[in-house]
Chain A
Amino acid sequence: MNTHTIDTDTPVISADAYDTAAFFTGSEAIAVVTNTTAPDAVPLPSPDASTAELLFAAQEAGRRAVPAPFTETALVARPLLRRAGLPVPDGPLSYAIAPELTIRYAHPAASPVGSAGCLGDDDTLLITGTLHRVPWARAAGAVVVLATAPSGPVLFTLDPDRAALTPGANLAGEPRDDLHLAPLEIPASRVRRIPRELLEEAEHRAALGRAALMAGAAERCVELTVAHTTARVQFGRPLSHFQAVKQEEARLIEEAALVRAAVQAAATPLDTGGPAAHFAVAAAKTQASASAAEIARIAHQLHGAIGITQLNPLHLATTRLWSWRDEDGDETDWALRLARSVTAATLWPALTTKP
């Protein structure tokens, strides 16, 4: 069923080559995301790529620790812009789901219906507030924001250069920047009123994209750990020959397989939407986040001391797992939402819903 075109012989980014600062000065970030010949880049799929293809590519991006907003652009921002009927810019994009923003209409309508200011003569908005920890904001050409206007849910695009940016980062050094809007006018041409379902779809896309990255990083932990335990000799034999090592390594492999299976299982439901999408995405992000600790723990334990240094690339995967498990909803958030969606009578039907 898969028709992926990613060249899997492309080297995975090494610890030496990884330097966030270098990638995110000037236009290099765009090069990383769009230049398909760069050794560390996972090319952005075509905008017509299927969700299954996008998820596969996102796993590759996670496996290679691609230093760019891959899922932010491909799995979240682009599809949302298309769904909302807004033009899709080239280059890296990001997103923010921000119900806490203060939004007013820049040109309030003197409407005889409803309270004053709940509608505008047009949809031009005045936005006040802070978008917290926006992924790769400093590198993104535009940030897709989902928020609640007085008239209901809206989606608008924001040029990050027009906001005051406070740089931040997650445990892996990936940019997570605060954008301060005080107040900022968004022209009506960049604003769309959206149905409530699109808000939910945005959350689903963000969470599943993050889970797909985690599946890739988990797979990287397996690859690096197996390579290490096979090559490293202690007491006269490879680590992989020790029963105690086998026991742990198998659990690592299993946990990574579990995350991957959960992510793959959500590809089709994401397209169909509705309760099946909610269940599959919630299960995928819950499982990915819940497995992160065990995957990172075993990978580090079996690597020994070298794994906790920058000399070894393992940290590129494990620091991401620890960061990503908290982003776009952690396992507690999603497990709670998952449990609220089932009852004794519906649990089994939910687990077996086709597709």
Chain B
Amino acid sequence: MCPSTLSPIAIPDAALPESARRLRTEVRAFLDEERARGTALGRPDSWLAGWDPGFSRRLAERGWVGMALPTEYGGAGRGFLERYVVIEELLAAGAPVSAHWVSDRQAGPSVLQHGTEEQRRFFLPRIAAGQCFFSIGMSEKSSGSDLASVHTRAERTSDGWRLTGTKMWTGGAHVNDYAIVLARTDEAEDKHTGLSQFIVDLRAPGVRIEPIRLMSGEHRFNAFHLDGVDVPDGMLLGRRGDGWKQVTGELAFERSGPERYLSTFPLLVSLLSELEHRSVTAGQLTQVGLLTARLHSVRRLSLGVAAALNAGASPDTQAALVKDLGTRLEGTLVDTVRSILPTRADPHATPGSHAELLAFALLHSPGYTLRGGTNEILRGIITRGLEQR
């Protein structure tokens, strides 16, 4: 850390380990093979929309799913910075990574940190093998950014818990295996206490999945109804009543990663390809350069937060900062690409064509600054973090 000030703008500069260069080369070679195989690549927002369990398993065979997990649990034990290199390569290439995304980013680290030894031995090797996919069951119909207002209840039974309630925005619940559900186990004055996390089998009796179609028509999200779902004691994740602490502890990982600025990067690459066949004005190039500079700068900030996380710090304020900057850039990129090369967005154009990618990115763009905590709320976190110094 720079000693100059206490300002949160002083995020450490990250130097990737030397091993990252070799790893990057390996991932690029793997992606070349996948392109040759015809696996859909080059898509915007592939961490939400690119669901391909076969791809996830092939990645897992290389040791690139759950790669930050310890080897004793089937992981690769390679740390967050090497994981960073792998996932940024995948996102930049628009690879279909959504099947394992949540298990890799959240469920794995969360089970490792809070889970029982039994849970670790059961889930972590399956996650790392690309054979166990997770959804997040946090948000609810009326909760939005006010996550602590969840109403889903978990009542004590003779040998476990009975969960009742409805979760919203549960991505992939219709195709995944498990969800980590945040539920209220105890009534308390302070709504942040009395919450607990449970690992719920998405095929258990009483689970009902109802699609919530996006405006593009895609089925990515669901309403996830828990109509008295019995969850055994062994599937309580972490300590009863610690749910809020556990959930917020994950947020720095969730908010600062490369998925927060690379969702629309493949569209910029597509634009550059288009421009290579045309005569280009200085004005167009200038806009490309401005976008490139901003991408580069946001990436360096994101890397800095990853380095801090890798070192065991909890840079929540800085993670919020990266998410606000990065996700705004994702949206700006779409509008700027459209203005650099006026193109009629067409969802029915040839898949992978510039017009089709633009349509896809446009229809997804309002979500970037919503998911993972709305940016307006994050800005409150940023200023609070600063003023408390």
Contact = CB atoms under 8 A, between A and B. Distances in A.
Taking each of B93, B292, B318, B386, which has the highest tally of chain A beta carbons within 10 Å of its own beta carbon? B292
A83 interface: no
A258 interface: yes
A339 B288 contact: yes
A218 B288 CA distance: 24
Nearest to B2: A2
A335 interface: yes
Contacts of A286: 289-290, 292-293
A25 interface: no
Nearest to B378: A250
Contacts of B293: 262, 282-284, 286-287, 290, 331, 334-335, 338
Given A249-B383, A254-B324, A223 B289 contact: no
Interface string A329-355: 001101111111011100110011011
Contacts of A354: 16, 20-21
B300 A265 contact: yes
A109 interface: no
A344 B282 CA distance: 17
A254 B7 contact: no
Interface residues of B, number: 56
28 contacts: A2-B3, A4-B4, A60-B4, A219-B4, A222-B9, A222-B386, A243-B380, A247-B379, A249-B386, A251-B379, A253-B382, A261-B11, A265-B296, A279-B296, A286-B292, A290-B293, A332-B286, A335-B290, A339-B288, A339-B292, A340-B285, A342-B272, A342-B292, A343-B276, A344-B269, A347-B269, A347-B272, A352-B89
Contacts of A339: 285-286, 288-289, 292
A80 interface: no
A351 B379 CA distance: 27
A223 B276 CA distance: 44
B151 to A, nearest CB: 26
A257 interface: yes
B2 A343 contact: no
A60 B299 CA distance: 24
Number of contact residues on A: which range applies? 35 or more
Given A219-B9, A246-B379, A251-B379, A258 B289 contact: no
Taking each of B4, B9, B20, which has the highest tally of chain A beta carbons within 10 Å of its own beta carbon? B9
Given A247-B376, A250-B324, A287 B297 contact: yes
Interface string B266-281: 0011101100100000
B294 interface: yes
Contacts of A253: 7-9, 321, 382-383, 386
B204 interface: no
B272 to A, nearest CB: 4
A248 to B, nearest CB: 9
Interface in A220-267: 222-223, 226, 230, 240, 243, 246-247, 249-251, 253-254, 256-262, 264-265, 267
A8 B4 contact: yes
B2 A335 contact: no
A116 interface: no
A254 B382 contact: yes
A56 interface: yes
A313 to B, nearest CB: 16
A157 interface: no
A57 to B, nearest CB: 10
B10 A260 contact: yes
A262 B300 contact: yes
Top 5 A-B residue pairs of the complex, sorted by shortest distance between their CB atoms: A335-B289, A250-B379, A344-B272, A286-B293, A339-B289
Judged by DSSP, the binding face of B is helix
Contacts of A182: none
B304 interface: yes
A332 B21 CA distance: 32
B289 A334 contact: yes
Contacts of A60: 4
Contacts, number: 174
B24 interface: yes
B136 interface: no
A148 interface: no
A110 interface: no
A81 B15 CA distance: 30
A283 B298 CA distance: 11
B2 A56 contact: yes
Contacts of B324: 250-251, 254
Contacts of A283: 292-293, 296-297
B159 interface: no
Interface in B68-95: 88-89, 92-93
Given A335-B292, A342-B292, A348-B92, 6 more contacts: A8-B5, A254-B324, A257-B325, A339-B289, A344-B273, A348-B93
Given A219-B7, A223-B5, A348-B92, A246 B380 contact: yes
A6 interface: yes
A94 interface: no
A280 B16 CA distance: 16
Nearest to B92: A348
A116 to B, nearest CB: 38
A351 B91 CA distance: 13
A243 B381 CA distance: 11
Contact of B11 (A6, A257, A342): A257
Interface in B297-321: 297-301, 304, 318, 321
Contacts of A1: 13, 15
Contact of B286 (A219, A336, A351): A336
Contacts of A351: 292, 295-296, 299
Interface in B352-389: 376, 378-380, 382-383, 386-387
A347 B321 contact: no
